[in-house]
Structure 1
Amino acid sequence: MSDTTQLHHQVTEVLRDKIVDGILRPGTPISERELCEELGVSRTPLREALKVLASEGLVQLFRNRGAIVSPISVEMIEDKLAVIAALEGFAVRQVCLQATNDQLKDLENLSRQFSRQFDSGKPEQYFDLNQSFHHRLVEMTGNSVLIDMHSLLSRHVRRPRMEGVRHHVPTAEVLEEHEAILKALLARDAVSAQAAVERHLRRVAQTVVQYFRSR
């Protein structure tokens, strides 16, 4: 990776974190001059980073008028979470059919780690552990198209999901839902695995959407 590409990725990560963590709020104008000074970079890597974040739905670009942090659309969140549920429903069916026993064991170990480290008082840690489980599920399919689509949509909804998690304390119900998914996978019961993961993600979507609609 060239120094220019690495710098571009670093700037993208910093800006993404600022938006996801709520430091840059929805609708906030993005000052290129201020960010260049803060990050110690030229406008070229910053503008490349903004293009990436625009593709993720985090930034809106306007010709000759700069950029703003994208407003959060409840309807868009709901639609994207529904598609993620469908993708993961397909993924678990494939995992039941083709995953090796060692792969399922690795997933079981990841799930156990999530259970041991679950702490409703640490929303960021909870979110990262939870995402690791779901991303691993999709990666086990080996389907590059599915993996890319799931990764892109997951980045799109990371900001509203993080905000929802911070204001809605996760409960042990999450652990029970993950256990149901894992149990079906270990039994290679594709129908039950799909039902379990879609039920879990529907509840997640309802929680996030209800939070934003009640603000």
Structure 2
Amino acid sequence: MSVKGIGTRSASPRGRAGNAVRTPAGVERPSLAPIEESPSFKHKAYTALKNAIVAMDIYHSRDEIRLDERKLAQDFGISRTPVREAMAQLESEGFVRSVPRRGIYVVRKTRQEVIEMITAWAALESMAARLITQAATDDEIEGLREMFAAFIDGELRAHLDEYSDANIEFHQTIIRLSKNSVLIDLAANLFTHMRMIRRTTIGEKDRADRSIKDHMAIIEALEARDTKRAEQLVRDHALGLADHVAKFADYLD
């Protein structure tokens, strides 16, 4: 695959990949080797491991979850190098931690860390709601309402797992409909952590019933283009989760 744009050398001397190439005008620019289109082993290992961690119920489990690098490489059918690189990336994102002479473990956030994550999320999502009232189409907002059509009229408790998925999709869509690429990027990694705690708490106390009522009120405010109310409702909804964690999530201690 040829690389267009930066690194194109049609009018300049050839250089080996990684070496700078001097153009006739004397301006140096990098000499780039072609990039393979297929995902690397590291990326595949990273994606598989991250998905597996997110799917775990790590907060109700009291046991530490240790990841065996050698075993993972065998399971993937690849060398240990891309697995090690994937682990390093996951550690930088706060999903695993390396303990000297012990190994690599999945991270369980403390109660205070979870509350801080939710508080940061409240700020991002409330701003996204503000932007939705200004930029989203009526059809896009209507799509939010359609997510919950199957859970009205007493069907919520009978399909809690499905509602949990819809709940997560709702919050992802709120961020996406902001159409602010910086906000979306900032929220991406944080939301993966939030996904785990939302899945854990949705069946606790009256969280599910309160959740769907909050969502309907948020959607109504968005449909009315009531910027101030939409922003406030989204922020209060997120901070309600923080309050729930502070009061009831003893398993995080």
Q: Tell me the TM-score range normalised by the shorter chain.
A: 0.7 to 0.9
User: RMSD of the alignment, in Å?
Assistant: 2.9
Deviation larger for 26-35 or 107-116: 107-116
Aligned ranges 1:180-195 → 2 under 5 Å? 180-195=217-232
Give CA-to-partner distance per residue, 1:24-58, whole Å, 9 cap, x none: 76643321112222332221221232123223311
Q: In structure 1, what is the equivalent of residue 45 of structure 2?
A: 11
Q: Judge conservation of contact 1:185–1:193 (CA < 8 Å) in 2.
A: yes
In structure 2, list runs of 5 or more residues that go unmatched: 1-35
- Contact 1:4–1:45 (CA under 8 A) maintained in structure 2: no
1:147 aligns with 2:184: yes
Task: Report sequence identity in percent.
Answer: 29
Q: Equivalents in 2 of 1:57, 1:117: separation in Å? A: 38
Counterpart residue identity of residue 98, structure 1: A
Matched ranges for 1:79-98 at <5 A: 79-98=116-135
TM-score by length of 1: 0.83
Greater length-normalized contact order (CA 8 Å, ≥ 6 residues apart): 1
User: What is the TM-score with the length of structure 2 in the denominator?
Assistant: 0.72
Partner of 1:207: 244
| Cα deviation digits, residues 161-209 of structure 1 (max 9, x gap) | 3333365574322111101000000000011111211121122222334
Structure 1 unaligned runs (5+)?
none
Task: Count matched residues.
Answer: 214
Counterpart residue number, 2:85: 48
CA shift in 2, pair 1:101/1:114, >3 Å = same
Query: Residues 59 and 70 of structure 1 are in contact (CA less than 8 Å); yes or no, is this contact kept in structure 2?
Result: yes
What are the superposed Cα offsets for residues 41-99 of structure 1, whole Å, 9 maximum, x if unpaired? Answer: 22122123212322331101357764221232111110010111111111111111122
Structure with higher helix content: 1
Larger Rg: 2
Once residues 161 and 109 of structure 1 are traced to their aligned partners in structure 2, the CA distance between those partners, rounded to angstroms, is 20
Report the Cα distance in structure 2 between the residues aligned to 1:69 and 1:41, rounded to whole angstroms: 21
- Alignment of 1:138 onto 2:175: yes
